[in-house]
Amino acid sequence: MLVTEGKVKFKAGDGGDGKVSFYKNRKGPDGGNGGNGGSIYVTGTSDIYALSNLFKKTEIEAENGQPGMSSKKAGKLADDMEVKVPFGTVITDKTSGETFDITEKDDRVLLCRGGEGGKGNWEYRSSKNTTPMYAEKGLKGQKRDLHINLKLIADVGLIGLPNAGKSSLLKELTNASPKIGNYPFTTLEPNLGELGGKIIADIPGLIKGASEGKGLGIKFLKHVERVSVLFHCLSCELKDPEKSYKQIRNELKEYNPKLLKIPEIILLTKTDLVSEEEVKSVLEVLKKLKKKILPVSIHDWDSLEKLKILISKSSV
């Protein structure tokens, strides 16, 4: 199951305490320093299911540094922890409001710094104090209370009402294997496919009120925020395709007006299910929208090839 949003607490490791110790056979302190606690880093991964494992715990903790030892031996340094999140993840510190956006392969963000180990009493020796009876406590590791939100990064987004043919198109264009059926919300989570180096996201069907959370709503609208071009799928079977088009556009506007600025192409889908005259009639109605329109069917090789060319030429 694809998990895209949740809360989790991160805590870096505490530093180990310094040691109070003295040589047995000669005078002088020999207490070693404590080891540093482990820090927590976040890196990006192409695995969009990575958050599913992360949210199995409510708190992620790095190891503590080990206390100092006698004979001036330092405590062991704790290993740093690396947490992988999908590309497109936005991490927000709920207390400070600070945000971290993981979008690139090489992104590596230090989220929680480990506490420094305390100094042992050997570090406090001096000509005036040859037998220091104290050592430094290790510092506490950094804590963060985080909200983590995945917004898929894709070049192309397929949007439209339920049963608009989005999943079928994705399957024909790429090697993706989305669930397909003739009933609402067959697609319960975004599906991704790749065509010529471009990532295509099939966004689950939107309905009226999606921007307010109705249907699958906001859970999926956020996934179109990062795409470079939208392919708006309208089925030839629709009684009023213009009304349906405007309905989806309105939901995008209500959720985030910036979505309306994303380049858009209309795909008139399922052309094999109606006559040529009916296709022409729908095209005539949609002309007033002043958008590029491509009739397409998964059973029409020529139309699929034209769509592939459009995708290859789309802005990224």
Enter the tokens of residue 187. 């697609």
Per-residue pLDDT tens digits for 278-307: 999 999 999 989 999 999 999 999 999 999
DSSP one-letter string for 229-244: EEEEEEETT-S-HHHH
Average pLDDT, the chain: 87
Residue 177 confidence (pLDDT): 58
Q: Which of 8-12, 78-82, 181-185, 226-230 has the lowest mean pLDDT?
A: 181-185
Q: Which position has the token pair 């042992």?
A: 120
Number of H helices, E strands in the chain: 6, 14
- Check pLDDT > 70 for residue 26: yes
The single residue listed with the structure tokens 């995008």 is 252
pTM reported for the whole predicted model? 0.75
Q: What type of residue is 70?
A: S
Of 59-63, 115-119, 253-257, 281-285, minimum mean pLDDT range: 253-257
Q: Which helix (H) or strand (E) holds 99?
A: strand 99-102
pLDDT above 70: percentage of residues in the chain: 90
Is there a contact between 159 and 244 (Cβ–Cβ < 8 Å)? no
Q: Is the pLDDT at 214 greater than 60, yes or no?
A: no
Domains along the chain with CATH numbers: 5-150 (2.70.210.12), 156-313 (3.40.50.300)
DSSP state, residue 75: P
What average pLDDT score do residues 238-265 get?
90
User: Average pLDDT in the 109-119 region?
Assistant: 97
Tens of pLDDT along 149-198? 988 778 898 988 888 888 889 889 887 654 444 444 344 567 788 888 88
Residue 44: closest CA among 15, 11, 86, 13: 86
Q: Dihedral, CA atoms, 156, 161, 165, 167, nearest 10 degrees?
A: 60
The first and second tokens of residue 276, run together, are 């040529």
Q: Are 213 and 207 in contact (CB under 8 A)?
A: no
